[in-house]
Structure 1
Amino acid sequence: MTGSARPEPGLSPERLVFFTDALFAIAMTLLAVELERPDAEELTSARALGHFLLEQRGSYLAFALAFVLLWSVWRRHHKLMDQVVVLSKPFVGWHAPFLLLVAFLPFPTAVMGLSITNPLAQTLFAGTMAAMVLCEAVIKEIAAGSGLVGDADPARTRRHANGSWAVGAWFLLSVGVAWLTPYAFLMWFLAPLAASYGGALLTRLRGAGQ
């Protein structure tokens, strides 16, 4: 590789990928670390342990949901970075709030696990997820609009961005619903449908506006 072909210092795709993967791995591990462990008294019998596990069902649901959501975000980011051949300063810069929210997610997950039907707990979690996915959408828009994806189809990357915009809007919608019903968190299981149908709708609307 010649000197002119080397990326500008601080704009190496490989280093960004390594750092992002490490942070996702730590955040996903912390989700389990936050789970409460039974004490000695709760281990004295199967009945006592069963009662403890039943009491913690909200925490286990919050853990499983947050893990799947984080894994989905990581997987989408992984696919994007497999196409990115060069970085830009805005692209790297938007990773700061994106990864901040990834690192923060174990906290609202733990809070929601203590009272999964609490509207403020749901608001904290959904707001964090919405902000994270919207940052993801911006990152994809930058990649598509700045020629960072090399030979890949920028239009396809923009369609993926539309899916992220739709999921972010879905989580924001759930914030309002959380104050109307304690079961707003069930909306989050429909996030893949929001990405598919909402993303397709945005793609058509944006195509019609061009």
Structure 2
Amino acid sequence: MSGRARSEPGSSPERLAFFTDAIFAIAMTLLAVELERPHEKELASARALGSFLADQQGSYLAFALAFVLLWSVWRRHHKLMDQIGGLSKAFTAWHAPLLLLVAFLPFPTALIGASIGNPLAQTLFAGTMAAMVFCEAVLKEIAGSAGLVTGDPAEAHRHAGDSWGVGLWFALSIGFAWLFSYAFVLWFVAPLAATYGGALISHLRLSPAGHPIPDDEDAPRT
């Protein structure tokens, strides 16, 4: 008999990872399905087709943006699952809202593709992305706190801080969408929110009760 320990039914990290990968793959494919196809009159000449393609530039921009964002979330989740040694009920349950938002994203993507400057369309897209990344952050927090990761739990919490930073960036962009029609440009620099926002959140974690961490000069001497 094999010495490898068996997971309880429904508690296999591999099965959860495979299922999550499938949802991401379907959602990323649906992004392309939402793109409008030219009709017979648009295919009648190169000029007509060129005009049609130019009119759809907002849709292509929305498709590329949503694809890259979904790919980024999937890639981070993939790395997380590679470090998971077991599952908890909370960790498994939080995949439900995450995957719901992943599957929903093609809809707001189609909306901003049709009217990328519309503040309500931007709000729906940014809100979906913010909620999705917040779910990602919660998963990392649970993985670190429940001891599900095979590596350093502090590393999982640090990566969770990066995700919180990105989620807050998307949430803040909602307010800007109602002031500026080009607020969606903020989404292209979301990685900066992970770098700097995540570092700030990690610093606050290390600072008890929100107070600054004393430096070496302020440290008590023995």
Q: Fold conserved (TM > 0.5)?
A: yes
Structure 1 counterpart of 2:178, which letter? Answer: W
Q: Which region of structure 1 is more displaced relative to structure 2, 8-17 or 90-99?
A: 8-17
Aligned-pair distance for 1:29?
A: 0.3
Alignment-derived partner of residue 111 in structure 2: 111
Alignment-derived partner of residue 96 in structure 2: 96
1:77-96 residue pairs with structure 2 within 5 A? 77-96=77-96
Structure 1: how far apart are the matches of 2:40 and 2:194? 45
Structure 2: how far apart are the matches of 1:146 and 1:199? 21
Alignment-derived partner of residue 131 in structure 2: 131
Structure 2: how far apart are the matches of 1:11 and 1:95? 13
Alignment-derived partner of residue 216 in structure 2: none
Structure 2: how far apart are the matches of 1:146 and 1:7? 17
Aligned-pair distance for 1:78?
A: 0.4
Query: Between Structure 1 and Structure 2, which shows a larger proportion of helix residues?
Result: 1
- Runs of 4+ residues over 6 Å off in structure 1: none
1:170-209 residue pairs with structure 2 within 5 A? 170-209=169-208
Structure 2: how far apart are the matches of 1:142 and 1:206? 16
Structure 2: how far apart are the matches of 1:30 and 1:203? 36
Are residues 1:7 and 2:22 paired? Answer: no
Q: Percent of pairs identical after alignment?
A: 73
Structure 2: how far apart are the matches of 1:191 and 1:203? 17
Count how many residue pairs are aligned between Structure 1 and Structure 2: 208
Alignment-derived partner of residue 146 in structure 2: 146
Alignment-derived partner of residue 34 in structure 1: 34
Aligned-pair distance for 1:80?
A: 0.3
Structure 2: how far apart are the matches of 1:165 and 1:73? 13
Aligned-pair distance for 1:201?
A: 0.5
Structure 2: how far apart are the matches of 1:206 and 1:10? 34
Structure 2: how far apart are the matches of 1:68 and 1:180? 26
Alignment-derived partner of residue 164 in structure 2: 165
Structure 1: how far apart are the matches of 2:106 and 2:195? 26
Structure 1: how far apart are the matches of 2:26 and 2:208? 41
Aligned-pair distance for 1:131?
A: 0.3
Deviations 1:74-133 (A, max 9, x none): 000000000001000000000000000000000000011000000000000000000000
TM-score by length of 1: 0.97
Structure 1 counterpart of 2:57, which letter? Answer: R
The structure with the larger Rg is 2
Alignment-derived partner of residue 44 in structure 1: 44
Structure 2: how far apart are the matches of 1:144 and 1:188? 28
Structure 2: how far apart are the matches of 1:147 and 1:37? 49
Deviations 1:20-46 (A, max 9, x none): 000000000000000000000001111
Name stretches of at least 5 consecutive residues in structure 2 with no aligned partner.
210-222
Structure 1: how far apart are the matches of 2:90 and 2:14? 17
Structure 2: how far apart are the matches of 1:100 and 1:209? 35
> Secondary structure, in 3 states, of the residue corresponding to 1:157?
helix
Cα RMSD, aligned residues only? 1.0
Structure 2: how far apart are the matches of 1:16 and 1:27? 17
Alignment-derived partner of residue 18 in structure 2: 18
Aligned-pair distance for 1:2?
A: 5.2
